[in-house]
Amino acid sequence: MLTSGHTISLAIEKPAAGGRMIARVDGQVVLVSGAIPGERVTARVEKASKSVAYAETVAVEEASPDRRAVSGDPLCGGCLYSHIAYARQLEIKSQVIADAFTRIGRMTLPSPIAVAASPEDGYRMRARLHVRGSRLGFFREGTHDVCDARQTRQLLPASVDALEGLMANMRALGVEGIHEIELAENLDASDRAVALDMTAAADARALEGLASTAGLTGLATPYGVHGRVHVVDRLDLGEGRTVELRRHVLAFFQGNRHLLAPLVTHVVGQVPEESDLLDLYAGVGLFSIAAAVVRRARVTAVEGDRIAAADLEANATAAGGAVVPIHQSVEEFLGPAKAGRHGEDEVRGVRLQADPESRGVQLQLDRPRIVIVDPPRTGMSREALDGALALRASRLIYVSCDVATLARDARRIVDTGYALTRADAFDMFPNTPHVETVVTFDRI
């Protein structure tokens, strides 16, 4: 059995979820970083158990034609696939998705998944950076060591310039106790706001000085807000249709500026014209508002996060009333649908009715034709998925950033009377093992 510290020659077989590649030694699985399927590498074992070992590539004995030179630190956050030619990255992600559906979901996808490509440079509109002493950057994989964000090329050069200017102003103004910086900017980077995670108070004058950093339009701290801490995206969805969305610097939002419009266009393209739509985990209303504008859908949008829900309400108001925003967790919102179900054959859905005794809503009989879910990386909780399935919608569109939890939930959806009719993927995170997958389920 392999043990920590051993160096061994390995033939790399296929990709694994999470960024490593699979090799085997006497039946023991070895998950290898820095390799490509088809290569033979020399790897050093980092840790091992009876069933699996983890190793890192230290030399390439037989290189894949898809191996490319890496200019920066390949272990800096967001660079695990940077040594792999981009076209091969897309193939690997397609294989990982298919493998997860086979192993976890116990099903075969209707066709091979094509992963929509993204430019590799300057794609990120959102990022969390770490401050350690005088250094600002991303964490190196598996550590809390800070590495330079600029060399990863994920952010626009102007974004890194603004962050470095902010750090210089922090030193000049004597502002201390900042450990994390959240960055959010819009599609054309005309709005760029930051939020500071601070453990020490700073006076208002110093914070105003930080907010005046060149390239920033707003700054949020626990001790005050300066400038505009919302950014505004104007999303062109074709045929003269534009969606405008505001979002707070701390609100979740899709992070790839190059694939945002294609992703939204694809998702809302699965929504029939003038249908009743329930959007769960709606965020600031990315899919809700687009579906209302492009497909003339009647939308109920549910979001549990307080910050995102405030943006959702503002965006719904600006959209002219076609979207009803609900600030409530998905589990709480769907609870009445489960509790009130009288029989398996009963058609249930969502009609919102104001409750004068509370700020909540009540579920009434009236089936939504379409349900969109875009849950966090952990997937849908059992309560949320049970509630969504109890609605018996004719179509369920599942948007996921984690293929393992997607495949897990897909198994339950199919077992409840749906057919998986379409699967597509978008490379929202180039040079990383992450991929955004959109799966359409139609009720049989």
pLDDT score of 365 more than 50: no
Helix (H, G, I), strand (E, B) or coil at 442: strand
Instruction: Supply the mean pLDDT for the chain.
Output: 92
The tokens 């992600």 sit on which residue? 93
C-alpha to C-alpha distance for 443 and 395, rounded to whole angstroms: 6
The tokens 């043990």 sit on which residue? 3
CA 3 from chain center: how many Å?
35
Calculate mean pLDDT across residues 101-105. 97
Q: What is the pLDDT of residue 342?
A: 34
Phi, psi torsion values for 389, nearest 5 degrees:
-70, -30
Q: What is the pLDDT of residue 345?
A: 32
- Is the CB of residue 391 less than 8 Å from the CB of residue 373? no
Q: What is the pLDDT of residue 234?
A: 95
C-alpha to C-alpha distance for 284 and 277, rounded to whole angstroms: 16
The tokens 């922090």 sit on which residue? 170
Residue 336 banded pLDDT, cuts 50, 70, 90: low
CA atoms within 13 Å, Cβ hemisphere of 136: 22
pLDDT digits 0-9 by tens, 83-95: 999 999 999 999 9
Q: What is the pLDDT of residue 71?
A: 86
- Is the CB of residue 298 less than 8 Å from the CB of residue 349? no
CA nearest to 374, candidates 274, 266, 243: 266
pLDDT score of 239 more than 90: no
C-alpha to C-alpha distance for 184 and 8, rounded to whole angstroms: 44
What angle in degrees, to the nearest 10, is found between the helix axes of 382-390 and 403-415? 40
Residue 348 banded pLDDT, cuts 50, 70, 90: very low
CA nearest to 252, candidates 424, 126, 145: 126
Q: Where is 358: in which H helix or E strand? A: none
Residue 3 banded pLDDT, cuts 50, 70, 90: confident
pLDDT score of 353 more than 50: no
Q: What is the pLDDT of residue 301?
A: 97
Amino acid of residue 119? P
pLDDT digits 0-9 by tens, 11-67: 999 999 999 999 999 889 999 999 999 999 999 999 999 889 999 999 999 999 999
C-alpha to C-alpha distance for 133 and 291, rounded to whole angstroms: 46
Q: What is the pLDDT of residue 357?
A: 37
Helix (H, G, I), strand (E, B) or coil at 332: helix
Show the tokens assigned to 364.
């009434």
Q: pTM (2 decimals)?
A: 0.92
| Range 312-342 burial, b when 16+ CB lie within 10 A, else e | bbbbbeebeebbbbbbbbbbbbbbbbbeeee
- Is the CB of residue 276 less than 8 Å from the CB of residue 249? no
The pLDDT > 90 percentage for the chain reads 84
Calculate mean pLDDT across residues 297-309. 97
C-alpha to C-alpha distance for 235 and 391, rounded to whole angstroms: 31
DSSP tag of 91: H
pLDDT score of 354 more than 60: no
Q: What is the pLDDT of residue 367?
A: 61
pLDDT digits 0-9 by tens, 163-174: 999 999 999 999
CA nearest to 52, candidates 67, 76, 71, 32: 32
Residue 200 banded pLDDT, cuts 50, 70, 90: confident
Q: Where is 389: in which H helix or E strand? A: helix 382-390
Calculate mean pLDDT across residues 387-410. 97
pLDDT digits 0-9 by tens, 142-160: 899 999 999 999 999 999 9
Q: What is the pLDDT of residue 347?
A: 30
C-alpha to C-alpha distance for 222 and 226, rounded to whole angstroms: 11
C-alpha to C-alpha distance for 437 and 435, rounded to whole angstroms: 6
Question: Which DSSP string do the residues of 10-42 spell out, in sequence order?
Answer: EE--EE-TTS-EEEEETTEEEEEES--TT-EEE
- Is the CB of residue 37 less than 8 Å from the CB of residue 92? yes
- Is the CB of residue 416 less than 8 Å from the CB of residue 106? no
For the chain, state the CA radius of gyration: 23
- Is the CB of residue 100 less than 8 Å from the CB of residue 403? yes
CB within 8 Å of 216: residues ≥ 6 apart: 162, 166, 192, 193, 194, 227
C-alpha to C-alpha distance for 424 and 269, rounded to whole angstroms: 12
pLDDT digits 0-9 by tens, 251-283: 999 999 999 999 999 999 999 999 999 999 999
Question: Which DSSP string do the residues of 258-305 spell out, in sequence order?
Answer: TTHHHHHHHHHHTSPTT-EEEEES-TTTHHHHHHHHHS--EEEEEE--
Q: Which of 105-109, 149-153, 239-243 has the lowest mean pLDDT?
A: 239-243
C-alpha to C-alpha distance for 406 and 390, rounded to whole angstroms: 19
C-alpha to C-alpha distance for 39 and 50, rounded to whole angstroms: 24
Q: What is the pLDDT of residue 366?
A: 54
CB within 8 Å of 278: residues ≥ 6 apart: 299, 300, 302, 349, 350, 368, 370, 371, 372, 391, 393
pLDDT score of 427 more than 70: yes
Q: What is the pLDDT of residue 27?
A: 86
- In the chain the domains, ranked by start, together with CATH numbers, are 1-67 (2.40.50.140), 126-231 (2.40.50.1070), 259-443 (3.40.50.150)
Residue 363 banded pLDDT, cuts 50, 70, 90: very low
